């Protein structure tokens, strides 16, 4: 059976480096499941792999969209599975990497047969977001489905939109809608998670935000002001800077908020991964050696 090696872990932990080393070892290619790195205009704020890193190993689903494009998790699942099957024609192993938990889940487990987005519902939730802010959407979802609310990325409007829309359409909670058994994939998934002490994760996040600023994050965000209401840009690293550009926040406060919100996202990732049972954890400081040793133990060879 073909093998999909999925590299997961919190933001800023070193997933890109590990994925590249594993892909080089198996002479294979990388599929990204980082939903923010799909957008070509958001390189700095999403820590997209550098040109040098992209040149080391073929990558797919990085910079393949514009922030003006609509792209659903369903579209991603369909296109990424198609690409994986294509890669399996010439490779026994393919590497998946990214910290977008629902996108990884969609790929390794499949999506439930949920209805397409309802245009009227979409207009309603977009109006709520525009008039009352994301807090109102959070409150609506919490009332409709507290169980899913505890798990969802609460700061991602797209996730909130989708869950509320499905609940309104079906009359059932989102949790109930996604509780049905999924079809099995015809490839084996080996999940490798990078772990580090929480303080280390938070320190790395803070340092990475500082590096993004040095690398031109402000200029990148400023160039995206015309698109600030697009869903792709309702995300950490950009929404905070838009409040600086419109005079609501000082720059220092905006940067601290980016760090704080990035740490909060890492905390949600940790909570998500703790509930998963099939992750092989490796130490972030020795991740390449530990991962290759693990894969050798599992008899996964070039």
Distance CA 174, CA 45 (A): 31
Whether residue 220 contacts residue 212, with contact meaning beta carbons closer than 8 Å, is answered with no
Instruction: Check whether 170 is labelled as a binding-site residue.
Output: no
Whether residue 288 contacts residue 117, with contact meaning beta carbons closer than 8 Å, is answered with no
Instruction: Check whether 11 is labelled as a binding-site residue.
Output: yes
Tell me the helices (H) and strands (E) count for the chain, helix number first: 14, 6
Q: Residue holding tokens 């419109």? A: 246
Instruction: Check whether 2 is labelled as a binding-site residue.
Output: no
Instruction: Check whether 216 is labelled as a binding-site residue.
Output: no
Closest CA to 135 of 78, 143, 104, 290: 143
Distance CA 148, CA 236 (A): 21
Give the pairing type, strands 93-97 and 188-195.
Answer: unpaired
Instruction: Check whether 15 is labelled as a binding-site residue.
Output: yes
Phi, psi of 235 (to 5 degrees): -150, 160
Instruction: Check whether 200 is labelled as a binding-site residue.
Output: no
Closest CA to 1 of 185, 188, 183, 184: 188
Closest CA to 123 of 83, 161, 79, 179: 161
SS3 percent helix, strand, coil of the chain, rounded to 5, is 55, 10, 35
Whether residue 194 contacts residue 7, with contact meaning beta carbons closer than 8 Å, is answered with yes
Residues making up the annotated binding site for substrate are 11-16
What residues are designated binding site? 9-16
Please give the annotated binding residues for ATP, written as ranges: 9-16
């Amino acid at each position: 059976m073909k093998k999909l090696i999925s590299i997961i872990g919190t933001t800023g932990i070193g997933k890109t480096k590990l994925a590249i080393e594993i892909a080089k070892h198996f002479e294979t290619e990388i599929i990204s499941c980082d939903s923010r790195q799909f957008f070509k205009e958001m390189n700095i704020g999403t820590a997209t792999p550098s040109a040098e890193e992209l040149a080391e190993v073929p990558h797919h689903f990085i910079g393949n969209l514009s922030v003006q494009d609509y792209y659903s998790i369903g579209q991603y699942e369909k296109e990424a599975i198609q690409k994986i099957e294509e890669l399996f024609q010439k490779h026994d192993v393919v590497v998946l990497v990214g910290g977008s938990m629902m996108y990884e889940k969609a790929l390794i487990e499949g999506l439930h047969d949920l209805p397409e987005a309802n245009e009227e519902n979409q207009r309603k939730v977009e109006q709520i977001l525009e008039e009352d802010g994301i807090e109102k959407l959070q409150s609506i979802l919490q009332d409709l489905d507290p169980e899913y609310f505890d798990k969802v990325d609460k700061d991602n409007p797209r996730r909130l939109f989708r869950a509320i829309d499905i609940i309104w359409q079906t009359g059932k909670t989102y949790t109930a809608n996604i509780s049905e058994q999924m079809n099995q994939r015809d490839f084996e998934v080996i999940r490798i998670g990078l772990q580090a002490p929480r303080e280390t994760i938070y320190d790395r996040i803070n340092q990475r935000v500082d590096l993004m600023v040095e690398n031109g994050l402000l200029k990148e965000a400023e160039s995206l002001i015309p698109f600030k209401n697009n869903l792709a840009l309702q995300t950490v690293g950009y929404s905070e800077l838009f409040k600086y550009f419109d005079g609501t926040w000082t720059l220092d406060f905006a940067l601290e908020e980016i760090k704080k919100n990035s740490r909060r996202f890492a905390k949600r990732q940790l909570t998500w991964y703790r509930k998963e049972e099939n992750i092989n954890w490796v130490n972030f400081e020795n991740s390449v050696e530990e991962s290759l040793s693990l894969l050798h133990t599992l008899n996964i060879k070039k």
